[in-house]
């Protein structure tokens, strides 16, 4: 279960995630995570969140943001809010680490998702820090913090989630694992 001041470190990439606020701290209003990202390049594809806005404030380094067909670089002290249902991405393109605070609102189960992802990676079950396709489909189907890959029709993604998700669950694949985040889903 994620908790305030919990620090998770990805042993493969060296990225660090510190929960500043979890859903439990504020009745689900938001999740705030201080991230130190050493990894250079995109960690996830362009995506959109169905129900959640994301706010980023850069503490040090440079955070690259892709949004509305443009790329911008935020420096220390700069912020941006990315609204729900808008395709975007954020990543480090610099040789130096970027440190920023990411706030997602409403919280839903985003904190559990992040804790699950990092602990799953720590357990060396995620090659290159990314879930395989079946795990991605199950996670996308069953978590409340819904997001979709940009550029692929949402109807196709929903079809695949609804087809693969229930079958994979029969074989033990879960969206969230209790051993990684305190919740089976």
Mean pLDDT of 116-143: 80
**Predicted local distance difference test score (pLDDT) of residue 130:** 65
Could you tell me whether strands 31-37 and 98-105 are parallel, antiparallel, or unpaired per DSSP bridges?
antiparallel
Q: What is the pLDDT of residues 75-123, one digit of tens each?
A: 999 999 999 999 999 999 999 999 999 999 999 999 999 999 888 887 7
Whether residue 63 is predicted with pLDDT greater than 70 in this model: the reply is yes
98-105: strand order across its sheet = 7-9, 16-21, 31-37, 98-105, 53-60, 79-82
**Predicted local distance difference test score (pLDDT) of residue 33:** 98
By CB neighbour count within 10 A (0-12 exposed, 13-18 middle, 19+ buried), where does 130 fall?
Answer: middle
Mean pLDDT of 50-77: 97
Domain ranges of the chain: 7-108, 111-181
Whether residue 126 is predicted with pLDDT greater than 70 in this model: the reply is no
CATH ID of 7-108, from 3.40.50.2300, 2.60.120.10, 3.90.1150.180, 3.20.20.70: 2.60.120.10
CA–CA separation, 127 vs 52, rounded Å?
A: 27
**Predicted local distance difference test score (pLDDT) of residue 127:** 59
| Residue 15: count of CB within 10 angstroms of its CB | 21
CA–CA separation, 183 vs 47, rounded Å?
A: 25
Supply the pTM of this predicted model: 0.91
């Amino acid at each position: 279960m994620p908790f305030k001041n919990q620090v998770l470190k990805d042993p493969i990439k060296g990225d660090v995630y510190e929960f500043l606020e979890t859903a439990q701290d504020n009745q689900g209003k938001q999740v705030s995570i201080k991230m130190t990202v050493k990894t250079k390049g995109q960690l996830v594809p362009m995506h959109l969140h169905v129900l959640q806005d994301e706010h980023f404030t850069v503490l040090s380094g440079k955070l690259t943001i892709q949004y509305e067909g443009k790329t911008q670089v935020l420096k220390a002290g700069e912020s941006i809010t990315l609204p729900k249902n808008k395709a975007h991405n954020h990543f480090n393109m610099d040789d130096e680490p970027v440190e920023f605070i990411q706030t997602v609102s409403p919280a839903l189960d985003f904190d559990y998702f992040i804790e699950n992802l990092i602990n799953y990676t720590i357990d060396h079950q995620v090659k290159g820090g990314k879930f395989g396709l079946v795990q991605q489909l199950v996670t996308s189907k069953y978590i409340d913090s819904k997001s979709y890959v940009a550029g692929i029709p949402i109807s196709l993604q929903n079809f695949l989630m609804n087809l693969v998700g229930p079958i994979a669950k029969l074989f033990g694949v879960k969206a969230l694992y209790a051993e990684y985040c305190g919740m089976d889903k």
